[in-house]
Structure 1
Amino acid sequence: MRVEIWSDIACPWCYVGKARFEKALDAFAHRDDVEVVHRSFELDPGRARDDVQPVLAMLTKKYGMSEAQAQAGEENLGTQAAAEGLEYRTRDRDHGSTFDMHRLLHLAKDRGRQDELIGVFYRANFAEERSVFDDDERLVELSVAAGLDAGEARAVLADPAAYADEVRADEREAAELGANGVPFFVLDRKYGVSGAQPAEVFAQALEQAWAAHSPLKLIQQDDAEECGPDGCAVPQQH
């Protein structure tokens, strides 16, 4: 069974939602038979690479809230993250373009290290002091920490076209599926879960998707006559 997760590194609810989903997945009886694929979704598409600003400034400008309201929202997110065992810096974080990080995540997918890299990116953005924006060497260091080759990561960052089509394709597909926000979870292309739902909701969705995905189980195992590609067996007369 495949679970696809559309998310953005700049999205705090994606950070929290990933932890809640993984809690449900770890307890799922068929965990080893579930493939998780991370898909690209930019909350701020088209943002210039060098346009980096404090999170609070972005929130007050984008949503028209006061700085006190924005800070209160960050404190709430910190509480939600802590409940999932996650570190979260509620002050002095940056916001910027995540396009290059999404391109690197597609490289990581090709190398079988996608889940590792998105986890490293989330921790770096939400829990660590050093910014992840507008700093290629920072992204290279994080890529290496996730098991990628430094030279390959630098080559992707040096070529604006590398994996750009893959990122845009993911974003188009999200729109076609009706995803207006993230995180957005799609289970076997049959069921969708929107938002950082409680682990119990994800557990229910996994069970429901697995039931629909699973092959038929035979309830009669005794040998019996049947027809196949080579014809029909004719019982021998005794």
Structure 2
Amino acid sequence: MRVEIWTDIACPWCYVGKARFDKALAAFPHREQVEVVHRSFELDPGRAKGDTTEVIAMLMKKYGMSEEQARDGERRLGENAAAEGLEYRTEGRDHGSTFDLHRLLHLARERGRQDALIEAFYRANFAEERSVFGDDDRLVELAAAAGLDPAEARAVLADPERYADRVRADEQEAAQLGATGVPFFVLDRAYGVSGAQPTEVFARALTQAWCDRAPLDVVGDGGEVCGPDGCAVPGAGAS
């Protein structure tokens, strides 16, 4: 069975959602027969490679948030990440283009190191101080740590056309499947799971997809996602 996951490294709910899905997969009786493929989805596809900004400033400008709203949202996201055993820096993170990161993830898939690289990217972006945006040396360092040949990774970064068509194809396919935000999980082209659902929802979807074959049916509608209008903030608007 194949599970395809559309994500973006800049998406905090993708970071949390992967941890929840991984817990469900670890407990799934047929986990050794499940292939996981990470697909590309850029939340900010028009951003230039060198255009980086601090996350709080980006949230304020792009989504019209006050500084207090942006900081509160990051704190809440940090709490959700911590609940899954993840580190999350709520201050001082950068935001930038993820196009090169997606291109490297396609290289990593060919080399059998895709999951290791996306884990390295998530950890670097959400838990570590040094930015992953606009710094080829940083990306090569992370690629090497994930088991890729650093020279090959650098060659990909030096050629903006390498794997660019695959990134765009993934994004077009996401649109065709009706994915307007990420994370978006597609299980054996039979079931879809939208958002960073609880682990038990992923467990149920794995079981359903294993047992059944049916047209794509979105499971757990309403989970937290990141989309063109921003990232859902847990508890926002509660009294």
Q: Distance in 2 between matches of 1:12 and 1:153?
A: 25
Q: How many pairs were matched up?
A: 213
Specify the alignment match of 2:122 in structure 1. Answer: 122
Q: Distance in 2 between matches of 1:47 and 1:61?
A: 14
Q: CA deviation at 1:186?
A: 0.1
Q: The residue matched to 1:165 in structure 2 has which SS?
A: helix
Q: Distance in 2 between matches of 1:139 and 1:51?
A: 16
Specify the alignment match of 2:57 in structure 1. Answer: 57
Matched, 1:29 2:29: yes
Partner amino acid for 2:194? S
Matches within 5 A, 1:145-156: 145-156=145-156
Matched, 1:66 2:63: no
Specify the alignment match of 2:133 in structure 1. Answer: 133
| Stretches (4+) displaced over 2 A | none
Deviations 1:59-94 (A, max 9, x none): 011111101100000000110000000000000000
Specify the alignment match of 1:227 in structure 2. Answer: none
Specify the alignment match of 1:174 in structure 2. Answer: 174
Q: Distance in 2 between matches of 1:149 and 1:170?
A: 24
Specify the alignment match of 1:228 in structure 2. Answer: none
| Alignment gaps of 5+ in structure 2 | 214-239
Q: CA deviation at 1:46?
A: 1.7
Q: Distance in 1 between matches of 2:3 and 2:147?
A: 23
Specify the alignment match of 1:163 in structure 2. Answer: 163
| Alignment gaps of 5+ in structure 1 | 214-238
Between stretches 65-74 and 204-213, larger displacement belongs to 204-213
Specify the alignment match of 1:101 in structure 2. Answer: 101
Matched, 1:79 2:82: no
Specify the alignment match of 1:11 in structure 2. Answer: 11
Higher Cα radius of gyration: 1
Q: Distance in 2 between matches of 1:67 and 1:156?
A: 38
Q: Distance in 1 between matches of 2:71 and 2:186?
A: 32
Partner amino acid for 2:35? E
Matches within 5 A, 1:183-222: 183-212=183-212
Q: CA deviation at 1:160?
A: 0.5
Q: CA deviation at 1:180?
A: 0.1
Q: Distance in 1 between matches of 2:131 and 2:38?
A: 22
Q: CA deviation at 1:21?
A: 0.2
Partner amino acid for 2:50? D
Q: Distance in 2 between matches of 1:203 and 1:150?
A: 36
Q: Distance in 1 between matches of 2:157 and 2:125?
A: 18
Specify the alignment match of 2:232 in structure 1. Answer: none
Q: CA deviation at 1:49?
A: 0.6
Q: CA deviation at 1:171?
A: 0.3
Q: Distance in 1 between matches of 2:57 and 2:200?
A: 35
Q: Distance in 1 between matches of 2:129 and 2:151?
A: 25
